[in-house]
Amino acid sequence: MEINQFAIYQLKNVPENRNIRFRSYETLQKNQIQVRYENYEQKYLGRMLPGDTPGSIRERFHRQTPRRFQGHSISVSDVLVLNQDGEVAAYYAEKEGFTVIAGFIRNGSSGALISYDTTNFHIEGKEGSWLAYDSIIIGGKEFFLMEHTTYGKDAANVVLDEDGKVVVDQVYHGFDGTVKKQIKEYLNPTLSVPEPEKQKPPMENWQKYYENGEYLRSAEMTEEQNYNMIDGRMNNLPSKPRLMGNRISVLDRLHLKQAEIAKRRGKPVQQMAMAEDMERRRK
């Protein structure tokens, strides 16, 4: 079970940060200043309460400051990082409310192909070049929202993982709920369990008759002596005589006699029976 946590970051108290301390995010953007993790230090790490948001955390700290909190009251230029259900997001504190910022917390893998600073990247199967302009961490892995260098917002975005593999295609609304769901499904794919093979039940002779095919059935019906033996094998032999008490049935005696006569004359039994039938009709 994952523990939902939040952290509060405040700018380091050094001269280099004097011009960016307590400045709104819009002001930083106008001056082309990025919010960088290296300029901050963590002042507090705690567990989130059910239903917590950046606003509720800020309000709770204003009402009562925890003993372990070593920083100043949450103010403009502070950053709150929430890790909720494995999804990490950073929020820049404004005078009122927060602005979601990308790329503040990163995995920092030196072997990663994609980073937040990636530009002029070529995606297999897609024309033109792409640049990363937003990122998100889900399940401990970072994913990047890529924008087309030429068409910008007029073209659909693509989500890539750190290795440059397409995770979600045709993205129109950034890391919305649908895209996050697809990323989580990518991280935890559903394994399909193959159904066990069904064994066919043993077939009766009449079922074998239909399985053998038209050509084989026709040939067998012409040559086979016993019609209850149309089973895909050319037997041409009568079944064992049926005993009625201590005697052989009359029908089986006839079959044996026909087989004996056919064998002497070198004719198939079926042809012999047809000849006898024709002789009876002439009479």
Q: Give the pLDDT band (50/70/90) at residue 257.
A: confident
Average the pLDDT over 73-88 and give the result: 90
pLDDT of 113 higher than 80: no
- CA geometry: angle at 95 spanning 93 and 97, to 5°? 60
pLDDT at 36 over 70: yes
**CA 88/CA 81 separation, integer angstroms:** 7
Per DSSP, the residues of 1-36 read -PPPEEEEEEE-SSGGGTTTTT--HHHHHHTT----
Query: For residue 36, which of 14, 53, 62, 57 has the smallest C-alpha distance?
Result: 14
Q: Is the pLDDT of residue 276 over 60?
A: no
Show the beta-strand stretches assigned E in 18-129. 40-47, 79-84, 87-93, 98-101
Percent of the chain with pLDDT over 90: 31
pLDDT of residue 229: 53
Looking at residues 181-186, what average pLDDT do you find? 90
Cα four-point dihedral sign 30, 34, 39, 41:
positive
Output the pTM of the full model. Answer: 0.53
Taking CA atoms, 51 is separated from 84, 126, 180, in Å, by 10, 41, 19
User: Residue 136: pLDDT band by 50, 70, 90 thresholds?
Assistant: confident
